[in-house]
Structure 1
Amino acid sequence: MTGRSQSMRLGVWAAILGLVISGCSTVPTASAPVAITQVSGGVDEPIGVEPLSPEPGASPEEIVRGFIESSASTVQGRPVSREYLVAAQAETWDDTASITVIEPELSAVTSGPENAVRVTGQLVGTVDRAGIFTPEIDEFAIEIPVVLENDQWRISEPRAGIYITRTDFERAYEQRDIYFLDATSRFVVPDPRFFVRDGRVQSTQLVERLLAGPSLWLSPAVVNELADMRLVSNVLVTGRQARVDLRQDGEPSNEDLEGLSAQLVYTLLGQLSIQSLEITVNGTDPQLPGVGPVQELSDWLSFDSDSGGATGVGHYIDAGGVRTQDGNPIPGPAGTAAYGLTSAAVSIDESTGEPLSLAGLAVSGQSSTLYVGPYGGELAEVLPGSRLTAPTWSPVAEEVWTVLNGSDVFRIPTGAAGQPVPAPELAGTGAVRAFHLSRDGARAALIIETAAGPALFIARVERTQDTVTVRSPVAIAPSLSGVRDVSWTSAGSLIVLAIEPGGDQIVPYTIGVDGWGITELTTDGLPGEPDAVAAAPNRALVSAGGTVWQFTLEVWAVLIRGQAPLPGTAPFYPS
């Protein structure tokens, strides 16, 4: 996706950091996918403005441009698009194979003696049959052959799938999350997919995608309690209540039923206008303890990994000591700069919502030291090294993570020695400058020093009873350069500091976990370039010019209203 035309400034913070735009993949799903361009039961009527049929006597260039414009159709089978093809191809063309999204500024000119139209432009990315977006920034170029048929130019060899401009794609498609469980079955994990904007409730489509399973990329990091389920009939929606009837060979356990209930509730109630959900498995109500036959989002809040970060108080470093957002030092020696910390991270006690443990990094010259201990208490040295990344806490285990010397990932359980985490692909990708676990523990955001400069990557975290592995880092924002810092806004979105396209200034952006939806935030109110960022649901902090700022009322503002900016760096929220 290009930051040039896709980036925009938004003035409403809730529309930025509150936006859930999650999931990540660069490969097709493992199971038989549901065609993204089709809707269960069929869509026979157009939604919005339908493209025009070809004009009599249209030139080859006009035919090709019209064909691309017709891809914005939401009618099943795209009958208008088929009017631009020769009769034989109109009968057989597969419009569901994939979607190639390109920027609106494209060129279409006749080239060569073979009556072909060459289309060139800037590639944004591709969407596969399962609705999974993969960002690209390559130049787009394709030769589309045309011939005269009945004295009218028509396309003779259309490629499978459609080509569509970004603006038309945004009008014709919308992104929704389907939810799986992390490897420990504690949290729901978003996996974003695109659907046609058909004007109908997409409840059946969403459940069908759940049954088909996670993306192949995400699959090793998650659990799908609906993997062996079948949908008996379309999801029935009555008013604001939905009913999902499932069938499975054998009887699922209560633990399985809790997991599948959380997956369905977050997938359907978390995004659509549905407020309650009735689930049957093999014709009966799951009868889960403490949960009635009609389920609501409130029944499964414990599966929401973002809930802990929603109430945590922001922290930052000032002259080696840890302070809270009100400017006061935290209790204990870490608050009085006893360790000379340059960055830190705090874990949360799930039972109380209060800070539990503190990990702090001290950097002196060419050496780094990681300290860990109770929040407000003494810290112990747990890992020395020549270069360590800022610490990050795992949300599914009381352990802190860091990367040593650019490629060696370590996790340090509380009270235990550091353990190396296999990350076989990192060594060949580049030096890791930042490493942050997602709020659900299934992914990690990395800044990696590539040949083209520091770039944003997402890797998955595979966890079994005996092993933990970091695998398959993928670049999700190839259009952003000079990436300086990153933080998780939610389990499915991030805020990143990077150089603005065509400029040389560092600015903040929000971005979905799959690379879709890059949105530039304002820098109004800041004294200079931001150099570090921290995020939590609906909140963000940055440090700029040696001071710390919060985003509020459409601008960056001081931490304490009516007072001077507070000095500090390296802001962070508990996780």
Structure 2
Amino acid sequence: MGAERRRYGQGRAARAFALPTCAVVVLGGCASMPDSGDVEQVKATKGADSQVRVLAVPPRDGAAPEEIVVGFLEAMTSDDPSFATARKYLTKRAAQEWKPEQLTTVLTEAPDAGLSEAGEGEESRSYPLSGELIATVDRHAYQAAAPTQYSGTLRLVRQSGPESKDSKDKEWRIDSAPQGLVLGESDFLRNYGSVNRYYFASGQQSVVADPVYIRQRQDPVTRMDPVAQTVSALFEGPTDWLRPVVGSPFPTGTALKTGVTSLTPDDQNQLKVPLNDKASNVGRMVCQKMATQLLLTLRDLASPRVDQVELQRTDGSPLCVLSADQAEASVPVRASASPGNVYFVDATGRMAVVGADAKTVDKTTVRGPFGTGEVRLGTVAVARNGQRAAAVSQDGQHLYAASIMSDEELAAPLVGSNGAKLADRLSAPSWDRSDLWVADRDPRRPRLLRLAGGEGPPQAVAVDGLDGARIESLRLSADGVRIALLLSKDGKSTLKIGRIERRTTPEGVTAVSVVELQSAAPRLDSVTAVSWAGPSRLVVVGKEAGGVQQVRYIQTDGSLSPAGGVPGLNKVSAVAATEDDDQPLVAVSDDGLVRLAPSTNWQTMIDKGSSPVYPG
């Protein structure tokens, strides 16, 4: 070959030549393979269709090195048990060293295998792999990254078969490959699905969602079905990022009973979960907390439905039984009597309310000082019990709190800002489980403030990792251990998620800090607005570099939510969502205050309105 260099395709989508090494596609639910017709090459999937299965095909005798490269890349996307077919493209040594379960590298498109290196002999070749890296997945945890260049190498050698040393019988095999799986995003989403594991917030009886990814069908390595995978992932404990603020009652080393790879509820929707010896002697209270975590975690699976869990000892005897209704008591949901109500600031600067899911719009001002017009309001937030609200004055200088269920006098402001202009004063407020939060954007004294119980006095909260960025807006999660921060720096806006840590000082004071900021939307060049839309999901308004504004759902780990994007809307400046998927998404755009109910398009609610919020 000498200095000969051949280009044979830009990613799988461009590999148009037919190869016997191509994988075969099978639709989920098919009982048999077709016995007629042509076998076609499977290229990178265009969408995340979990009903499509890719069956890997082993290398043919005498396959060219390019065929070995393509076949191996295809085989990595399959459900082949233990990736046995993918290993057939490797030398014996490489097959033993390759650990597909160790790490998954996610690229925007399937990896592109480039030219073989020039100047190599006839016994070895190297093919560079390239692409745009957007995430890695380690121990089920998805770690999003700003798109960066990925590079890897497949090194091929010619090796003799077991019964021949004739050079004519030598076969090309891969002797060195990147560790783990390297997948395009569509193949990753076809094979993996996001599931929330639930752990108890430290010192609390409520739970926190910890999103991870599991195989949507049987795992090739463990041979576990999705339910068993999910349960085993829960036993592993929380991700490193969340671990400091949550806990789990499962004893160290808890696992499914040896040999259990499938879990299926009975016809009464009861799931029996046999545990190993590590968990066989826990007390009833601990067992019920374990069952609570299991039930809440399993409800995120599309199927099967689980209404009750029975945890069992290794000998099959029951440890405890818990129903789904009992588990729901640990979910930090809003306690508002009217969870479908949307609150906003009307054209007169008063706080008003409207039923977002009502067929006809009936706007009324709230009771108390926020509905009288005593102070013209700019932004508002409603406590999760729906009884009280917080509001920032229209000039951004003062933060107030008052009842919206009864008449009372307007109390003195809780916080004041001395910023020279509106953009440098107070942000919109937000509530966690019980406390009120706001940011003072004064460049001379920027502060993140927390008011315990929504009453004060304001306590400054340290935020690690701001790196000179300013907090423009914030939204607290219902569980109270995470905060979404919209930050600005050098003319760019980014979205970060911070972990809220609380510790009690020797003087008995609760010190609160925000630590380990991680990017929640690294693929967006700018972010305009954000709202929590579930226990681990956000709805974000932003745009990619050179793109147009869009509204999309994302997971807190930075991965795309299965809900994806929403219908287009012009110039969105604010957005509000709730943990309840049945409640409409609400936004402010050129069309006024608009709503998007499930399976419908955007509809105008109010011609002029701003600062829409659900309780929280």
| TM-score bracket relative to the smaller structure | 0.7 to 0.9
C-alpha distance in 2 between matches for 1:146 and 1:228: 43
C-alpha distance in 2 between matches for 1:452 and 1:285: 60
CA contact (8 A) 2:334 2:615 kept: no
Secondary structure of the residue aligned to 1:342 is strand
Q: Does 1:303 align with 2:330?
A: yes
TM-aligned CA deviation for residue 258 of structure 1:
4.4
C-alpha distance in 2 between matches for 1:92 and 1:80: 15
What's the counterpart of residue 205 of structure 2? 186
C-alpha distance in 1 between matches for 2:307 and 2:542: 39
1:299-357 CA distances to partner (integer Å, 9 max, x unpaired)? 122222245478241111123211112321111221233222211101133xxxxx211
Matches within 5 A, 1:54-453: 54-104=59-109, 106-110=111-115, 111-114=117-120, 115-150=125-160, 151-199=170-218, 201-228=225-252, 230-231=254-255, 233=257, 234=260, 237-239=264-266, 240-246=269-275, 256-271=286-301, 272-273=303-304, 274-280=306-312, 294-306=321-333, 308=335, 311-318=339-346, 319-325=348-354, 326-349=362-385, 355-364=386-395, 368-376=397-405, 377=408, 378-385=410-417, 386=419, 387-395=425-433, 398-405=434-441, 408-413=447-452, 414-426=454-466, 428=467, 430-451=469-490, 453=492
What's the counterpart of residue 478 of structure 1? 522
Which of 574, 579, 599 is matched with 1:532 structurally?
A: 574
What's the counterpart of residue 607 of structure 2? 566
C-alpha distance in 2 between matches for 1:67 and 1:452: 44
CA contact (8 A) 2:389 2:404 kept: yes
C-alpha distance in 2 between matches for 1:483 and 1:472: 20
Equivalenced residues, count: 507
Q: 1:417 to 1:282 in 2, by over 3 A?
A: farther
Stretches of structure 2 that go unaligned for 5 or more consecutive residues are: 1-12, 14-50, 161-169, 219-223, 355-361, 420-424, 505-509
Q: 1:328 to 1:500 in 2, by over 3 A?
A: farther
Stretch moving more, 195-204 or 122-131: 195-204
Q: CA RMSD in A?
A: 2.9
- After TM superposition, the score normalised by the length of structure 2 is 0.76
Q: 1:548 to 1:299 in 2, by over 3 A?
A: same
TM-aligned CA deviation for residue 163 of structure 1:
0.9
C-alpha distance in 2 between matches for 1:270 and 1:204: 14
Amino acid in the other structure paired with 2:342 = G
Higher radius of gyration, 1 or 2:
2
CA contact (8 A) 1:430 1:450 kept: yes
Stretch moving more, 207-216 or 150-159: 150-159
Secondary structure of the residue aligned to 1:132 is strand
Secondary structure of the residue aligned to 1:204 is helix
Stretch moving more, 330-339 or 432-441: 330-339
TM-aligned CA deviation for residue 489 of structure 1:
0.6
1:155-191 CA distances to partner (integer Å, 9 max, x unpaired)? 2211221111222222222222211112242322111
TM-aligned CA deviation for residue 362 of structure 1:
1.9
Amino acid in the other structure paired with 2:514 = V
C-alpha distance in 2 between matches for 1:429 and 1:182: 30
TM-aligned CA deviation for residue 391 of structure 1:
0.6
What's the counterpart of residue 8 of structure 1? none
Identity, in percent, stands at 25
Q: 1:231 to 1:53 in 2, by over 3 A?
A: closer
Stretches of structure 1 that go unaligned for 5 or more consecutive residues are: 6-45, 287-292, 350-354, 560-564
1:37-72 CA distances to partner (integer Å, 9 max, x unpaired)? xxxxxxxxx993312222444443332232121111
What's the counterpart of residue 12 of structure 1? none
